């Protein structure tokens, strides 16, 4: 039997603009994870995913099924026939909330299958396999989710380029608050694409400004300039609202976090729901956490970037 896990993730800066080749920053979130167990069992492959109430045979799943496709493509990559094992998937990462649940399942699955088959896959190989599955989840993914999760380190990401890690000069603490609203990434990415098609110059300018924030944020993180980061987050959230990807729930939570003393707050991920992140410190994080729950968050996770 082999078991492997992969963390969730948040996007600190640059969602959506990253689909259009601007830089973005993401970090792994170890407080939530997907776990995959692969066990020997003679016969056709069975997939058991109790969290989404699914139990099915691999051979019954079509090419649009992300889990089945990851099993098939990983086995093909390792030159092993997909048979004589079962796959059990469990995850504490809520689905469609911008925390990378789909990419985490793919990465954990790739790791567990490689280990079960006694083979090694590098983080880059797992990342590439998971990227193919992201296309089923997202349509036109940038690749940021599978990259930050497969490498499990902060990434400064530009689509189609080798992702860069960077130095974190001062630890940063984020409160991650779930609006309770599921928001499929594919839908929001599709809406942004349609908006871009109907007003190209306005959206290209918005993406440029978001990209400039990601660049400035990287410098601030590398130099430990925490004071600069909050305003950059607030500006990213303002631009997200102009793109039409915020929502009442997101605005309520970002405002509540700011009133309670957060340095900055914004949506994280596709938007229209999902999670909000707030930059907090030792002095404010309890107060911000309570304020987020009082403002309607269904759960708050606190994560630290060292
Ligand atoms: O999976 P999510 O909801 O975190 O969205 C990923 C970020 C987007 O920029 C909206 C899409 C992408 O592929 O980068």
Give a three-class secondary structure readout of 29-93.
EEEEEEEEEEEECCCCCEEEEHHHCEEEEHHHCCCCCHHHHHHHHHHHHHCCCCCCEEEEEEECC
Q: Which ligand 1 atom is at minimum distance from the Cα of 144?
A: 14
Is the pTM higher than 0.75? The answer reads yes
Please indicate whether residue 142, judged by its CB atom, sits closer than 6 Å to ligand 1: yes
**Tens digit of pLDDT at every position of the chain (306 positions):** 999 999 999 999 999 999 999 999 999 999 999 999 999 999 999 999 998 889 999 999 999 999 999 999 999 999 999 999 999 999 999 999 999 999 999 999 999 999 999 999 999 999 999 999 999 988 899 999 999 999 999 999 999 998 899 999 999 999 999 999 999 999 999 999 999 999 999 999 999 999 999 999 999 999 999 999 999 999 999 999 999 999 999 999 999 999 999 999 999 999 999 999 999 998 999 999 999 999 999 999 999 999
- pLDDT the model gives residue 149: 98
- pLDDT the model gives residue 139: 84
Q: Rounded to whole angstroms, how far apart are CA atoms 229 and 214?
A: 10
- pLDDT the model gives residue 138: 84
Residue 30 zone, left/alpha/beta (φ > 0; ψ -120 to 50; rest): alpha
**Residue with token string 């959506």:** 16
Neighbouring C-alpha atoms within 13 Å toward the C-beta of 137 = 29
With residues binned 3-state (H G I as helix, E B as strand, rest as coil), the percentages for the chain, rounded to 5, are 45, 25, 30
Q: Rounded to whole angstroms, how far apart are CA atoms 252 and 266?
A: 11
Specify whether the CB–CB gap between 37 and 16 falls below 8 A: no
Q: Which ligand 1 atom is at minimum distance from the Cα of 97?
A: 3
The neighbour count for residue 194, using CB atoms within 10 Å, is 9
Specify whether the CB–CB gap between 157 and 163 falls below 8 A: yes
User: Ligand 1 centre and the CA of 191: distance in Å?
Assistant: 13
Q: Determine which helix (DSSP H) or strand (DSSP E) holds 257, and give its type and residue range.
A: helix 248-259
Assigned token pair, 79? 């030159």
Specify whether the CB–CB gap between 21 and 139 falls below 8 A: no
Q: Which ligand 1 atom is at minimum distance from the Cα of 192?
A: 10
- Strands annotated E in the chain: 2-13, 24-40, 46-49, 54-57, 85-91, 155-157, 172-178, 264-268, 275-280, 299-305
Nearest CA to ligand 1 atom 14: 142
Assigned token pair, 293? 């729950």
Please indicate whether residue 189, judged by its CB atom, sits closer than 6 Å to ligand 1: yes
Q: Which residues are catalytic?
A: 145
Q: Rounded to whole angstroms, how far apart are CA atoms 114 and 74?
A: 8
Q: What is the dihedral of CA 266, 34, 285, 289, to 10 degrees?
A: 80
Nearest CA to ligand 1 atom 1: 98
Please indicate whether residue 138, judged by its CB atom, sits closer than 6 Å to ligand 1: yes
- pLDDT the model gives residue 52: 85
- pLDDT the model gives residue 275: 98
């Amino acid at each position: 039997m082999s078991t492997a896990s992969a963390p969730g993730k948040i996007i600190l800066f640059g969602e959506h603009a990253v689909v259009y080749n601007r830089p973005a920053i993401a970090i792994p979130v170890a407080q939530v994870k997907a776990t995959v167990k692969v066990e020997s069992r003679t016969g056709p492959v069975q997939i058991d995913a109790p969290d989404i109430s699914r139990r099915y045979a691999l051979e019954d799943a079509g090419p649009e099924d992300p889990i089945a496709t990851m099993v098939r493509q990983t086995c093909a990559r390792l030159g092993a026939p997909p048979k004589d094992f079962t796959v059990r998937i469990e995850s504490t990462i809520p689905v469609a909330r911008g925390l990378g649940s789909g990419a985490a399942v793919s990465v954990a699955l790739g790791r567990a299958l490689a280990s079960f088959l006694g083979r090694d896959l590098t983080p880059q190989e797992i990342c590439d396999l998971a990227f193919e599955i992201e296309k089923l989840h997202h349509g036109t993914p940038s690749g940021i989710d599978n990259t930050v999760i497969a490498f499990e380190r902060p990434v400064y990401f530009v689509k189609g380029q080798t992702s860069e890690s960077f130095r974190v000069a001062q630890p940063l603490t984020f409160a991650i608050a779930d609006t309770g609203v599921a928001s499929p990434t594919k839908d929001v990415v599709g809406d942004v694409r349609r908006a871009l098609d109907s007003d190209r110059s306005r959206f290209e300018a918005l993406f440029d400004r978001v990209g400039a924030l990601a660049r400035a944020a990287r410098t601030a993180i590398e130099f430990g300039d925490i004071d600069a980061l909050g305003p950059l987050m607030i500006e990213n959230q303002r631009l997200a609202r102009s793109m039409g990807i915020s929502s009442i729930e997101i605005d309520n939570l970002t405002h509540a976090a700011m009133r309670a003393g957060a340095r900055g707050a914004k949506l994280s991920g596709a938007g229209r729901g999902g999670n909000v992140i707030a930059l907090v410190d030792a002095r404010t994080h309890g107060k911000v956490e309570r304020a987020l729950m009082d403002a309607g968050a269904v759960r708050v996770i606190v994560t630290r970037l060292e």
